[in-house]
Amino acid sequence: MRTARRAALGLATLAVLAGCGVVPAMPGDLPDDFVPDVEAPHLADPGALSPDGVDAAERMAVRIRNVGCGELTTGSGFALDERTVITNRHVVDDADRLQVTTYDGREIDAVSAGVADVADLALLRTAEPLTTVPGLAEVDAAVGDEITVVGYPRGGQLTTAAGSVLGYELDTLGSDLGMVGRSNARVDHGSSGSAVLGSDGQVVGVVYAMDVWGNSYLVPVSTLHDLLAEEAFEPITSCRDSAGD
């Protein structure tokens, strides 16, 4: 698996999208409102997936509630199989309890969670089965390919946002991801962990950040494949257990 380190390229400051977190990598304090609010596209957008594709996206997308020690944050995720959800590591950080909500309103507890050290990815196991829409793409999307992001921005309703892959560049968040994708599909806080779907409805990446111009950043599906093959997800510790250390 690629182990390229973050390069100091002077790229745009990125904001992780769970809750309202701001990347603390730049010197000095950053305002918490430097990422512009954007109106989230809805399922009826003409640039979104076909009706069959939207149905599949609805079934695979979940909202994630992170009940921490003194705070509540939300993120997004998607079903990998009937009891496995993929999301971002920062979505599940400092959790005491994790709960997923399905497209049809079911609330399901996560019974375990694991995170990867070298990428902003996490894997949850659910107490009850999810409606499964299998399909990870075998290869990463090409520059110029059309994509659709499916998730729950700001913890609200399920939305889709259409765009295209603008390019690939070295990760600027220090997560040792190597190359990450950049797209013009609009996302918002709470979109972290959203599935990025190719034109055939397969997952080609996972949203983990956005920049000041409204571009979204994604972990390529090739990185997800590598981590799943290497069983690289380590169990997380409850915030209550950490507080007692």
Least confident stretch, 116-125, 154-163, 232-241: 232-241
Cβ–Cβ under 8 Å, residues 207 and 193: yes
Per-residue pLDDT tens over the stretch 21-80: 333 343 344 333 333 333 443 444 444 555 555 577 778 899 999 998 888 899 999 999
Least confident stretch, 77-86, 160-169, 233-242: 233-242
The backbone torsions φ and ψ at residue 154, rounded to the nearest 5 degrees and listed phi first, read 55, 25
The rounded distance, in Å, linking the Cα atoms of 160 and 157 is 10
Per-residue pLDDT tens over the stretch 186-220: 999 899 999 999 988 899 999 999 888 878 999 99
The rounded distance, in Å, linking the Cα atoms of 218 and 166 is 11
The backbone torsions φ and ψ at residue 243, rounded to the nearest 5 degrees and listed phi first, read -65, -25
Most confident stretch, 6-10, 21-25, 222-226:
222-226
pTM for this structure? 0.78
Nearest to 89 by CA among 16, 195, 13, 14: 16
Secondary structure (DSSP) of 15-36: EE-STT---TTSSSPPPTT-SP
On the 0-12 / 13-18 / 19+ scale of CB atoms within 10 A, 55 is: middle
Cα maximum dimension of the chain: 52
Element (H, E) at 200: none
Per-residue pLDDT tens over the stretch 71-102: 889 999 999 999 999 999 999 998 999 999 99
Instruction: Give the N- to C-terminal CA distance of the chain in Å, as an integer.
Output: 34
